[in-house]
Amino acid sequence: GAGVSQSPRYKVAKRGQDVALRCDPISGHVSLFWYQQALGQGPEFLTYFQNEAQLDKSGLPSDRFFAERPEGSVSTLKIQRTQQEDSAVYLCASSFWDRGNEQFFGPGTRLTVL
Amino acid sequence: DAKTTQPNSMESNEEEPVHLPCNHSTISGTDYIHWYRQLPSQGPEYVIHGLTSNVNNRMASLAIAEDRKSSTLILHRATLRDAAVYYCILRDGTTGNQFYFGTGTSLTVIP
Interchain proximity B41–A107, CB inside 8 Å: yes
Nearest to A2 by CA among A20, A30, A29, A35: A29
How would you classify the pairing of strands A75-79 and A53-56?
unpaired
Contacts of B3 in chain A (CB under 8 A): none
What is the reported pLDDT for B102? 83
Contacts of A106 in chain B (CB under 8 A): 43
Q: What is the full per-residue pLDDT of chain A (114 aa) written as tens digits? A: 589 999 999 999 999 999 999 999 999 999 999 999 999 899 999 999 999 999 999 999 999 999 999 999 999 999 999 999 999 999 999 998 765 568 999 999 999 999
Q: Give CB contacts under 8 A, 24+ apart, made by B65-68.
A: B68/B24, B68/B27, B68/B33
* Least confident window among A41-45, B72-76, B90-94: B90-94
Contact B79, B59 (CB under 8 A): no
Nearest to B1 by CA among B100, B71, B84: B100
Report the share of chain B in percent with pLDDT over 90. Answer: 75
Chain A contact for B8, CB < 8 A?
no
Chain B contact for A96, CB < 8 A?
no
Q: What are the tens digits of pLDDT across the range B10-64?
A: 999 999 999 999 999 989 888 899 999 999 989 999 999 999 999 999 989 999 9
Determine if the peptide bond prior to B17 is cis (ω within 30°): no
What is the reported pLDDT for B95? 67
Interchain proximity A42–B93, CB inside 8 Å: no
What is the reported pLDDT for A62? 95
Q: Measured between CB atoms, which of B43, B45, B97 is closest to A98?
A: B97
Chain B contact for A63, CB < 8 A?
no
DSSP classification of residue B5: B
What is the reported pLDDT for B96? 61
